[in-house]
């Protein structure tokens, strides 16, 4: 089988998760890496035995490239995805798909107009624990959902923001702890519990208010499609990156996702039913291990022209809509309907 040829744009902290997934994929081959920082691009090309460029738009002229991976700062995802699809490339973008729902909608429209596949990197949906949690909830053994809890308590210091050219400002990052760190947890909550219809929330910059304009802390109350409520808290102001906690309280029991393990409690008995802990994780543990699965699924989806294999733009925008509702709710001190 002829493998699809990929280019990765942006060779910063996350690109290796994409490059390693491509090296391991039976469907894809990494042909090119791009970074405006030539040293980074050169090093990445050397590490992955491919060619490099510093010019994204020039790469779009290369007819042999089938897929563009966007590992660039948030504000570039929308504009780069649209240009790539217009040039005939399929796009696998890192989260968030854009910094605005308006642009995200245009991306979805472009993917239809140019008949290109568009995926958003919510890789944690493919974690063992997430897949099992979804299966249990949909299986119905726990009854309907009564409440949901999501906690993200992480640590980002001043240097994390000042050493980056794009983090910490609305125009380039699009937000703070919501759109960058805890976006995966909002996505998992809304996906597992079947969609959010209403939001009341607060956002604030508590610790780094002299350094960043975006929020470092947010809390929200959600109403889900089935009428149940959810509570959510996210902060970058803790002293370490604690494991994310998600709890789903159901009529007949409870699901708890914590410390990369999934526990189910039913009739007072708690059992470990799935785990994402493996001995040899070379990436940051809180990024999860599922980039490879999601990326390989995406290529299969492109080859079979079936978007059910991956997280589509239509799925990716849901979390962005919730985040925008959180900002609007906080600004207006009121409930927002989605």
Ligand X SMILES: NC(=O)c1ccc[n+]([C@@H]2O[C@H](COP(=O)([O-])OP(=O)(O)OC[C@H]3O[C@@H](n4cnc5c(N)ncnc54)[C@H](O)[C@@H]3O)[C@@H](O)[C@H]2O)c1
Residue ranges binding ligand X (CB under 6 A): 9-14, 34-37, 40, 56, 71-74, 76, 94-95, 121, 123, 164, 180, 287
Q: How far is the CB of 268 from ligand X (least distance, A)?
A: 36
User: In terms of CB distance, is 76 or 145 closer to ligand X?
Assistant: 76
| CB nearer ligand X, residue 94 or residue 103 | 94
Q: Which residues contact 316 (CB under 8 A, 6 or more apart)?
A: 95, 96, 97, 104, 119, 120, 122
Q: Which is nearer to ligand X, 6 or 71 (CB)?
A: 71
Minimal distance, residue 55 CB to ligand X, in Å: 8
CB of 14 vs ligand X, minimal distance in Å: 4
Residues with Cβ < 8 Å from 50, sequence gap 6 or more?
Answer: 30, 31, 32, 33
C-alpha to C-alpha distance for 237 and 156, rounded to whole angstroms: 7
- Residue closer to ligand X by CB (options 175, 253) is 175
Residue 225: CB minimum distance to ligand X, A: 26
How far CA 315 is from CA of 39, 187, 199, in Å, comes to 35, 9, 18
Q: d(Cα 129, Cα 185) in Å, to the nearest integer?
A: 13
Q: Which is nearer to ligand X, 25 or 181 (CB)?
A: 181
Q: Which residue is nearest to ligand X (CB)?
A: 12
Smallest gap from residue 230 Cβ to ligand X (A):
22
Both tokens of 199, joined, read 């939001």
Nearest in space to 296 (alpha carbons), one of 13, 2, 18, 9: 18
Please report how close the Cβ of residue 207 comes to ligand X at its closest, in angstroms.
20
Q: CA 187, CA 316: separation in Å to the nearest integer?
A: 8
Question: Which of 290, 294, 312, 308 lies closest to 90, judged by CA?
Answer: 312
Q: Inter-axis angle of helices 74-86 and 101-113, to 10 degrees?
A: 20
Give 10 or 150: the residue with its C-beta nearer to ligand X.
Answer: 10
Rounded Cα gap, residues 53 and 42, in angstroms: 8
């Amino acid at each position: 089988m002829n493998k699809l040829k990929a280019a990765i744009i942006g060779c910063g902290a996350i690109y290796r998760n994409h490059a390693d997934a491509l090296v391991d994929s039976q469907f894809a081959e990494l042909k090119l890496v791009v970074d405006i920082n030539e040293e980074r691009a050169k090093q990445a090309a050397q590490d992955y035995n491919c060619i490099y460029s510093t010019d994204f738009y020039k790469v779009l002229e290369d007819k042999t490239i089938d897929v563009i991976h966007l590992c660039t700062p948030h504000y570039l995802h929308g504009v780069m995805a649209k240009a790539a699809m217009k040039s005939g490339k399929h796009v696998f973008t890192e989260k968030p798909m854009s910094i605005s729902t308006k642009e995200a909608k245009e991306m979805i429209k472009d993917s239809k107009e140019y008949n290109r596949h568009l995926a958003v990197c919510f890789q944690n949906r493919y974690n063992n624990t997430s897949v099992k949690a979804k299966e249990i909830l949909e299986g119905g053994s726990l009854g309907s959902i009564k409440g949901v809890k999501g906690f993200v308590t992480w640590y980002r210091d001043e240097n994390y923001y000042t050493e980056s050219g794009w983090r910490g400002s609305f125009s380039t990052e699009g937000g703070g702890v919501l759109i960058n760190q805890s976006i995966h947890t909002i996505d998992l909550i809304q996906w597992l519990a079947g969609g959010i219809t209403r939001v009341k929330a607060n956002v604030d910059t508590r610790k780094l208010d002299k350094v960043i304009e975006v929020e470092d802390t947010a809390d929200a109350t959600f109403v889900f499609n089935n009428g149940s409520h959810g509570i959510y808290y996210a902060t970058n102001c803790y002293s370490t990156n604690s494991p994310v906690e998600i709890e789903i309280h159901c009529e007949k029991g409870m699901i708890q996702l914590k410390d990369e393990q999934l526990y189910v409690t039913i009739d007072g008995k708690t059992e470990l039913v799935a785990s994402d802990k493996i001995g040899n994780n070379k990436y940051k543990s809180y990024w999860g291990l599922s980039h490879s699965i999601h990326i390989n699924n995406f290529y299969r989806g492109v080859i079979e022209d079936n978007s059910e294999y991956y997280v589509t733009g239509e799925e990716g925008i849901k979390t962005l809509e919730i985040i925008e509702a959180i900002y609007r709710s906080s600004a207006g001190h009121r409930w927002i309907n989605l």
